Amino acid sequence: MIRRLVTSTTEEHPSASLRARSGARRGTDELAWNFRREILVKVFHVVGARPNFMKVAPVLNALRAHEHVVQSVVHTGQHYDANMSDVFFEQLGIPAPDVNLAVGSGSHARQTAEIMMRLEPVVVEGKPDIVLVYGDVNSTVAAALVCAKMGVRVGHVEAGLRSFDRTMPEEINRLVTDQLSDLLFTPSEDGDANLRQEGIAAEKIFRVGNVMIDSLVKLLPIAQQQNRNGLPERYALVTLHRPANVDDSAALKSILESLLDVNQELAVVFPAHPRTRQRIAEFGLRAEQLRVLDPLPYVDFLGLQSRAQVVITDSGGIQEETTYLGVPCLTMRENTERPITVSLGTNVLVGRDPEKLRTEFARLLAGKQKKGTIPPLWDGHAGERIAAVLAG
């Protein structure tokens, strides 16, 4: 049975306060012991888009080890295609969502507002002690806004990343979410520095490492056993979906032309986001010579990444995965919120300059690719460190 405690009035460190609420700091009297076994901490995980799913799985798993924690998964429905959502739940072992808000697609304002309106009654009814939000998608900021206004604690997993480019919708989501969060779990030192710079109190910040790498470490052995499925032995793996790259016909045309050049030297394998597919068709562009595939399940894509000669992408998470895997990554963006993948990892920013892409690609073919190292705390245990803060 879930019994809620009256809201803690302690001004202690947030993790200490959560522990106190679960009875762990109640002293040695008998009442305290009963209290501790009876009082549960109720955690909601709010997720909605593909890059959230590999981040929530390790946290859910790690919290399962703490018997006084009860967990619920709320899916906003931002991503709804089976191959953008369901298959990730299956492969990552995430339980079926307790609630699906089924918001679907829409403009940023509409999608964010719709999530807020549908989430509010779920939080009112469920009375979570803390709501965890992940990454930088619209579902993340919408949930943070709802909970902060209701006085419900928010924990942000993957806090502190900054591209310093406010034309990116995700940057707005990151800034707002971090300002509203009570617990900020960062993947790397730059995250801590950005948060302190923005006036976030040091005691709210927990450098736990990269939770997405936990999923990678766990599933890589299975991913590496994947069948080649008729794909070439050597290839360049491509993903593109950022509005700046795919929503403008001239930009997308120029990128596809560069990829056709790459394809002359190394087969391009391109699992395309639904948005990118739509745009290619809408703008009447040609991509038949490239191996354009439907979006792939997590394990299949991880297998492809681990064997690729190079990955060309505008994704955030893929910059990190390639750094961990030691696979060269050419990022088609002018900036990155994950600078550690450039300073320590295998990532090179080529922007949208076809010349820069050609030059970097040629260096790579000549065997002169950048050698990287794995950043500290990207070790497969970030989820456990988050669980220790919340429930340890």
Known active-site residue 241 = yes
How far, in Å, CA of 6 to CA of 15, rounded? 17
Q: How far apart are the first and last CA of the chain?
A: 21
Whether the CB-CB separation of 363 and 328 falls below 8 Å is answered with no
Report the chain's C-alpha Rg in angstroms. 22
Residue 41 three-state SS:
strand
CB of residue 333 vs ligand UD1: minimum separation in angstroms?
12
Q: What residues from 262 to 301 belong to the interface with ligand UD1 (CB under 6 A)? A: 273-275, 278
Alpha helices (H) along the chain = 14-21, 30-38, 50-64, 86-92, 108-126, 138-150, 169-180, 189-197, 211-223, 243-246, 249-265, 274-282, 298-307, 317-325, 340-343, 354-365, 382-391
For position 333 contacting ligand UD1 by CB under 6 A, the verdict is: no
For position 138 contacting ligand UD1 by CB under 6 A, the verdict is: yes
Nearer to ligand UD1, 169 or 376 (CB): 169
For position 84 contacting ligand UD1 by CB under 6 A, the verdict is: yes
Of 45, 241, 273, 381, which residue is the catalytic one? Answer: 241
Among 26, 100, 169, 354, binds ligand UD1 (CB under 6 A): 169
What is the CB neighbour count within 10 angstroms for residue 169? 16
Q: What residues from 19 to 58 belong to the interface with ligand UD1 (CB under 6 A)? A: 49-51
CB of residue 55 vs ligand UD1: minimum separation in angstroms?
12
How far, in Å, CA of 218 to CA of 222, rounded? 8
Tell me the window of 130-138, 186-194, 247-255, 361-369 that interacts with ligand UD1 (CB under 6 A). Answer: 130-138
* Count of positions on this chain that bind ligand UD1 (CB under 6 A): 19
Among 22, 61, 76, 78, binds ligand UD1 (CB under 6 A): 78
Among 7, 34, 105, 167, binds ligand UD1 (CB under 6 A): 105
Nearer to ligand UD1, 181 or 369 (CB): 181
Residue 303 three-state SS:
helix
Whether the CB-CB separation of 145 and 180 falls below 8 Å is answered with yes
For position 376 contacting ligand UD1 by CB under 6 A, the verdict is: no
Q: What residues from 233 to 252 belong to the interface with ligand UD1 (CB under 6 A)? A: 241
For position 331 contacting ligand UD1 by CB under 6 A, the verdict is: no
How far, in Å, CA of 359 to CA of 353, rounded? 10
For position 358 contacting ligand UD1 by CB under 6 A, the verdict is: no
Catalytic residues: 241
Footprint on this chain of ligand UD1 (rule: CB under 6 A): 49-51, 78-81, 84, 105, 136-138, 169-170, 241, 273-275, 278
